[in-house]
């Protein structure tokens, strides 16, 4: 047993840190450190910088052009990026669909799709949830009917994160209605510019359009876009869910946000209030405990042991912690969290002459996004399998019944 | 970064686990707690396994093992609800080994390791609650006067390590049981064990170290790390007992394990257990860090353990229903031990205050 990283891992961390320091544009890190609005160009700029270095697919094996890093190295890369204030890598391409294409796709599909994902040029979206299929994903109804060398797709997906920017979407579609719901699902890659695809952004409670509805109206999809075998899509989706489970806890980002929470609490004068500071202290303990749990999973992965019984806990705990730091930041600002000024969440906002605002009320524009972030974070215990569904899974493992 | 146990560590844990199974079943534990809260026979048996001197240098007949070995042993002793004060022996031995004179070491370490003598650590006083630095007991010409409060595992000890103010500084002394002017008043504790209050009046004592602050902090850190490990062992066993019960107990025509409201509580217990285990590892692996870093880690660990122990203890009783609040089942005895541990070495709020007062801008496992 040893808590310390090896000297090689420390050196690796230094290398990553130096590179990120040299290549992360400071306007991007300023936005991230202050939770200002990130636009498509912001996210893609960082993706392409990583892509040019070969690190957008940082979890990829060397045979597909990735760096072939170990679980610990991947974690250190994520940590250095998070602490430096890099925008999150939009996961749908490099983290989610790419491993499925590598594992279950054919050589032609790999040659066609992986380079665009690795470079950051092609934006991928995820088509899983439907209006009638949330936690009960296997009940999905979007139909794909084989007609010659095409599938004809009809139906509706929803909660498609950042789908308004999507070039391609990977979808779970129903190809068979006989037998168990899980056995009639296929994994299909669809060009979002195909005729019959309609994307409608959904405004969320924070005023932002982070997710979308996506309609498919007799969309023709070449049969060569089917991943693996027809009706085996559920297995591929489960593989995807099992992939990269430590990342879902997002403990590295939590460490960065804890620092930000302390800054805000100091600026707003509540850090010296013991009752408030104790709440931060509790969160600090929770984050250290989560980080230890992540390190345990990494250690198990490194030594080739199964750690599934604790990996499932990471999503629950990580999402609760995300919600808590967002809540405490909002509460630290207190009354200053109340002004809802949409444009003040943009970097460089200098007030609004037309509306008669000389600046953000009270003067600290960094308070502008705090309530919105709190509202936005309610999603974390709902998405990716709601925390109640996660508890069912944990209980199943523990009770064995 | 590696959380795997060595072959030897696994064997050690297995050996202690087998001993618990064979020599310390629940009925035996119940009998011991009903008959004074300490079994000389059980303690001797642990000494024969080499556990009393686990951390003592081999120069003094010990096993020369480290914090991780201590942790795996404490987990097993926790799972068996072993009440004999092994952790007290380790703390006393470590303090004498680190701070004592050669004479003290050769007088005490081999007999502590062999289990023929025991020393209890008496730092806390009533006024200071968990703040062992608050000390009214004072030393005058190596004679101590004062009152030490709730000295756990102290009944029938051969000697006590007692803190006292000397020339305005906290110092640590060794007081023999039966010394002149010493009155030890023994009583049972909530967990079925035993403690004493010590009343000292001009009681002759041997100075162990004039640097009582360093020694006390080390004692507290060890105490916390081993409480954490014991707590993990207890919680893991409580969960296992509860799972068995839930898969057997029938209501409304099915096992109670089938009810979602109860299943979600089981998931919460598992979460609390694994967070606690994570922080127990953290505490153990920070035990040899520099004092400031070590003590920050211990405070964080005890906060997590406190929260986990409360949740797991209360949930496992609740999941048992009425049978859980009877004296005849093991689960209620595990719960009482877990509850007592909250009030040992500083409770959750005490340590949350330490974390809160000493927070830095950045925080994490390595900061």
**Per-residue confidence (pLDDT) for residue A185, from 0 to 100:** 98
Question: In the prediction, which pLDDT does A243 show?
Answer: 66
A281, A303, A396: residue with CB nearest B356: A281
A residues 336-395 closer than 8 Å to B (CB): 388, 390-392, 394-395
Residue where a domain stops, chosen among B61, B81, B114: B114
Does B2 map to a domain?
Answer: no
- Decide if B2 touches A, using CB distance below 8 A: yes
Chain center to CA of B246: 30
Low-confidence spans in chain A with pLDDT less than 70: 243-246, 307-308
Q: How far is B314 from chain A (nearest CA, A)?
A: 18
Answer yes or no: do B249 and B315 share one domain. yes
Interval B159-190: pLDDT, tens: 999 999 999 999 999 999 999 999 999 999 99
- Say whether both B97 and B136 belong to one domain: no
CB nearest to A285's CB, from B269, B284, B355? B355
Percent of chain B whose pLDDT exceeds 90? 99
Nearest neighbour of A289 by CB, restricted to B1, B263, B304 = B304
Mean pLDDT along residues B109-131: 98
What's the CA dihedral at B339, B344, B348, B354 to 10 degrees? 180
**Gap from A280 CA to chain B (nearest CA, Å):** 8
Please indicate, yes or no, whether residues B32 and B110 belong to a single structural domain of this protein.
yes
Do the Cβ atoms of A292 and B278 come within 8 Å?
Answer: yes
Closest in B260, B269, B271 to A316, CB measured? B271
Q: Tokens 């009030």 — which residue?
A: B343
Which residues between 232 and 261 in chain A have a beta carbon less than 8 angstroms from any beta carbon of chain B? Answer: 255, 258-259
Q: For the whole model, what pTM was predicted? A: 0.96
Q: Which tens digit of pLDDT belongs to each residue from A253-300? A: 999 999 999 999 999 999 999 999 999 999 999 999 999 999 999 998
Vertex B31, ends B26 and B37: CA angle to 5°? Answer: 105
Cβ contacts of A273 on chain B, cutoff 8 Å: none
Dump pLDDT digits (tens) for B243-265: 999 999 999 999 999 999 999 99
**B363 assigned to some structural domain:** no
Between B13 and B367, where is the model more confident?
A: B13
Question: Which site among A79, A289, A297, A310 would you substitute to test the B interface, given the most B Cβ atoms closer than 10 Å to its Cβ?
Answer: A289
Alpha helices by DSSP H, A268-359: 274-302, 308-333
Check: CB of residue B75 under 8 Å from CB of residue B13.
Answer: yes
Mapping DSSP onto H, E and C, the string for A206-239 reads: CCCCCEEEEEEEEEEEEHHHEECCCCCHHHHHHH
Q: Does any domain span residue B27?
A: yes
C-alpha span between B229 and B283 (Å, rounded): 9
pLDDT on residue A244: 54
Do both B286 and B221 map to the same domain? Answer: yes
Domain A124-231, CATH among 3.40.190.10, 2.40.110.10, 3.30.300.30, 2.60.40.1930: 2.40.110.10
One domain, residues B227 and B340: yes
Chain A residues near residue B286 by CB distance under 8 angstroms: 3
- The distance in angstroms from the start CA to the end CA of chain B is 15
Scanning B180-289, the segments in alpha helix (DSSP H) are: 212-248, 260-285
Instruction: Let me know if residue B365 belongs to a domain.
Output: no
- Cα–Cα distance measured from residue A118 to residue A65, given in angstroms and rounded to the nearest whole number: 8
Residue B322 sits in the same domain as residue B263: yes
Contacts of residue A319 in chain B, CB cutoff 8 Å?
none
The pLDDT of B147-166, averaged and rounded, is: 96
Residues B164 and B226 in one domain: no
Let me know if residue B367 belongs to a domain. no
Output the pLDDT for position A308.
62
pLDDT given at position B357 = 97
At B360, is the pLDDT very low, low, confident or very high (cuts 50, 70, 90)? very high
A105: tokens are: 């796709």
In chain B, positions 18-37, which contact chain A (CB-CB < 8 Å)? none
Q: Considering only CA atoms, which of B312, B298, B311, B277 is closest in space to residue B344? A: B298
From B63, B84, B114, the end of a domain falls on: B114
Domain termination residue (choose one: B114, B144, B160)? B114
Specify the length of chain B in residues. 367
Here the CATH number for the domain that contains residue B147 is: 2.40.110.10
CATH code, B261: 1.20.140.10
Average pLDDT of span B294-305 = 98
B89/B152 Cα distance (integer angstroms): 11
Instruction: Give contacts of B260 with chain A, Cβ < 8 Å.
Output: 392
B263 chain-A contacts, CB cut-off 8 A: 391-392, 395-396, 399
Determine contact, residues B270/A400, Cβ cutoff 8 Å.
no
Which residues, in sequence order, are CB contacts of A169 under 8 Å at separation 6+? A124, A125, A126, A127, A157, A160, A163, A189, A190, A192, A214
Angle at A331 between CA A329 and CA A335, to 5 degrees: 115
Give the one of A1, A274, A298 whose C-beta lies nearest to B285's C-beta. A1
Give the contacts of A274 (CB within 8 A, at least 6 positions apart). B356
Which range marks the domain in which residue B106 is found? Answer: 7-114
pLDDT of A274 reads: 97
Give yes or no: residues B100 and B174 share one domain. Answer: no
Domains in chain B, number: 3
Distance from CA of B1 to the nearest CA of A (A): 5
The ipTM estimated for the assembled molecules is: 0.96
Yes or no, beta carbons of A284 and B355 under 8 Å apart: yes
Contact A102, A115 (CB under 8 A): no
B264–chain A Cβ distance below 8 A for any pair = yes
Contact list, A278 vs chain B (CB under 8 Å): 352-353, 356
Q: Please check whether residues B192 and B126 belong to one and the same domain.
A: yes
B353 shares a domain with B232: yes
> Is A310 near chain B, with CB under 8 Å?
yes
Q: What's the pLDDT at A384?
A: 86
Does B145 share its domain with B200? yes
B 41-80 → A contacts, CB under 8 A: 68
Dihedrals φ, ψ of B141, to 5°?
A: 50, 50
pLDDT at A249: 87
Taking the Cβ of residue B347 and every Cβ of chain A, the question of whether any pair is shorter than 8 Å is answered with no
Contact B279 A292 (CB under 8 A): yes
Closest CA to B219 of B308, B119, B146, B139: B119
Please compute Rg for chain A using Cα positions.
Answer: 22
Q: Which residues of B touch A398 (CB under 8 A)?
A: 239, 243, 266-267, 269-270
In the predicted model, what is the mean pLDDT of residues B115-143? 97
Q: Does B336 lie in the same domain as B219?
A: yes
Q: CB of A13 within 8 A of CB of A81?
A: no
Report the pLDDT value the prediction gives residue A310, as an integer from 0 to 100.
Answer: 84
Q: Is A203 on the interface with B (CB under 8 A)?
A: no
Three-state SS at A146: strand
Residue to substitute from A1, A72, A76, interface B, most B β-carbons within 10 A: A1
Cβ neighbourhood burial of B338 (10 Å; 0-12, 13-18, 19+) = buried
Residue A240 is predicted with a pLDDT of 83
Q: What is the pLDDT of residue A246?
A: 63
B12 at the A interface (CB within 8 A)? no
Kindly indicate the confidence band of residue B91, based on its pLDDT and cuts at 50, 70 and 90: very high
Q: Which of B1, B246, B286 sits opposite A399 (nearest CB)?
A: B246
Domain ranges of chain A: 7-91, 124-231, 244-399
Question: Does a structural domain hold residue B59?
Answer: yes
Q: Residue B72: inside a domain, yes or no? A: yes
* Contacts A–B by Cβ distance under 8 A: 149
Nearest Cα neighbor of B334 from B153, B190, B194, B187 is: B190
Helices assigned H by DSSP within A135-273: 233-242, 251-267
B268 CB neighbours in chain A (<8 A) are 391
Tell me which residue has tokens 């009639």. A184
**Buried b or exposed e, range B246-262, using 16+ CB within 10 angstroms:** beeeeeeeebbbbeeeb
Contact list in B for residue A284 (CB cut-off 8 A) is 300, 355, 359, 363
Express each pLDDT in B37-77 by its tens digit: 999 999 999 999 999 999 999 999 999 999 999 999 999 99
Look at domain A244-399 and name its CATH class: mainly alpha
Q: What's B25's domain CATH number?
A: 1.10.540.10
């Amino acid at each position: 047993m040893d808590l310390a990283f090896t000297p090689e891992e420390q050196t690796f961390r230094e290398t990553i840190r130096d590179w990120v320091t040299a290549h992360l544009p400071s306007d991007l890190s300023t936005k991230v450190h202050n939770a200002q609005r990130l636009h498509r160009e912001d996210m893609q700029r960082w993706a392409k910088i990583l892509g040019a270095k070969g690190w957008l697919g940082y979890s990829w094996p060397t045979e597909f052009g990735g760096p072939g890093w170990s679980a610990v190295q991947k974690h250190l890369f994520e940590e250095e990026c998070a602490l430096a204030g890099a925008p999150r890598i939009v996961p749908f391409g490099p983290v989610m669909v790419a491993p499925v294409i590598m594992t279950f796709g054919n050589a032609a599909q790999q040659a066609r799709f992986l380079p665009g994902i690795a470079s950051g040029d092609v934006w991928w979206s995820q088509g899983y949830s439907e209006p009638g299929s949330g936690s009960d994903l296997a009940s999905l109804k979007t139909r794909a009917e084989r007609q010659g060398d095409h599938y004809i797709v009809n139906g509706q997906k929803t909660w498609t994160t950042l789908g308004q920017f999507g070039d391609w979407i990977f979808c779970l579609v129903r190809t068979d209605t006989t037998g168990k719901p899980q056995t009639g699902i296929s994994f299909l890659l669809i060009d979002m510019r195909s005729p019959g695809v309609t994307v409608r952004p959904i405004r969320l409670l924070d005023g932002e359009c982070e997710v979308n509805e996506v309609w498919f109206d007799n969309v023709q999809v070449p049969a060569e876009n089917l991943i693996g075998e027809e009706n085996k899509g559920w297995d591929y989706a489960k593989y995807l869910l099992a992939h990269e489970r430590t990342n879902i806890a997002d403990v590295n980002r939590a460490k960065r946000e804890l620092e930000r929470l302390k800054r805000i609490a100091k600026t707003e004068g509540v850090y010296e209030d013991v009752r408030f500071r104790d709440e931060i202290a509790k969160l600090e303990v929770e984050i250290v405990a989560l980080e230890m749990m992540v390190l345990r999973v990494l250690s198990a992965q490194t030594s080739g042991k199964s750690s599934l019984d604790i990996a499932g806990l990471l999503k629950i705990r990580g999402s609760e912690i995300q919600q808590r730091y967002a809540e405490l930041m909002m509460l630290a600002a207190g009354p200053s969290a109340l002004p809802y000024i949409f444009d003040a969440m943009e970097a460089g906002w200098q007030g609004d002459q037309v509306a008669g605002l000389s600046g953000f009320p009270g003067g600290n524009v960094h308070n502008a996004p705090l309530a919105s972030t709190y509202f936005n974070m309610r999603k974390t215990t709902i998405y990716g399998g709601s925390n109640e569904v996660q508890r069912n899974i944990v209980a199943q493992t523990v009770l064995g019944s | 970064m590696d959380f795997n146990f060595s072959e030897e560590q696994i064997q050690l844990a297995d050996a202690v686990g087998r001993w618990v199974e064979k020599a310390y079943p629940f009925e035996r534990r119940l009998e011991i707690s009903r008959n004074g809260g300490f079994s000389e026979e059980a303690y001797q048996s642990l000494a024969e396994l080499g556990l009393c001197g686990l951390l003592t240098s081999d120069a003094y007949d010990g096993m020369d093992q480290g914090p991780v070995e201590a942790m795996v042993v404490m987990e097993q002793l926790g799972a068996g609800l072993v009440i004999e004060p092994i952790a007290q022996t380790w703390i006393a031995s470590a303090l004498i080994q680190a701070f004592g004179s050669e004479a003290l070491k050769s007088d005490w370490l081999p007999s502590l390791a062999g289990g023929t003598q025991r020393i209890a650590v008496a730092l806390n006083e009533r006024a200071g609650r968990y703040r062992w630095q608050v000390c009214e007991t004072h030393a005058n010409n190596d004679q101590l006067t004062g009152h030490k409060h709730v000295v756990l595992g102290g009944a029938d000890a051969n000697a006590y390590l007692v803190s006292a103010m000397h020339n305005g500084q906290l110092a640590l002394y060794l007081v023999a049981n039966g010394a002149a002017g010493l009155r030890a008043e023994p009583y049972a504790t909530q967990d079925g064990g035993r403690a004493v209050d010590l009343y000292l009046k001009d009681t002759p004592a041997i100075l162990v170290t004039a640097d009582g602050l360093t020694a006390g902090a080390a004692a507290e850190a060890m105490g916390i790390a081993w409480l954490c490990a014991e707590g993990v062992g207890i919680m893991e066993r409580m969960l296992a007992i509860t799972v068995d019960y839930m898969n057997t107990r029938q209501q409304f025509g099915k096992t109670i394990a089938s009810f979602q409201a109860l299943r979600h509580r089981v998931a919460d217990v598992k979460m609390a257990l694994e967070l606690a285990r994570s922080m127990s590892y953290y505490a153990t692996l920070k035990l040899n860090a520099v004092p400031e870093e070590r003590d920050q880690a211990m405070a964080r660990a005890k906060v997590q353990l406190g929260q986990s122990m409360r949740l797991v203890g209360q949930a496992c009783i609740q999941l048992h229903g009425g049978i859980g609040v009877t004296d005849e089942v093991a689960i209620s005895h595990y719960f009482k031990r877990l509850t007592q541990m909250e009030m040992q070495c500083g409770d959750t709020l005490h340590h949350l205050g330490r974390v809160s007062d000493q927070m830095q801008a950045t925080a994490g496992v390595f900061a």
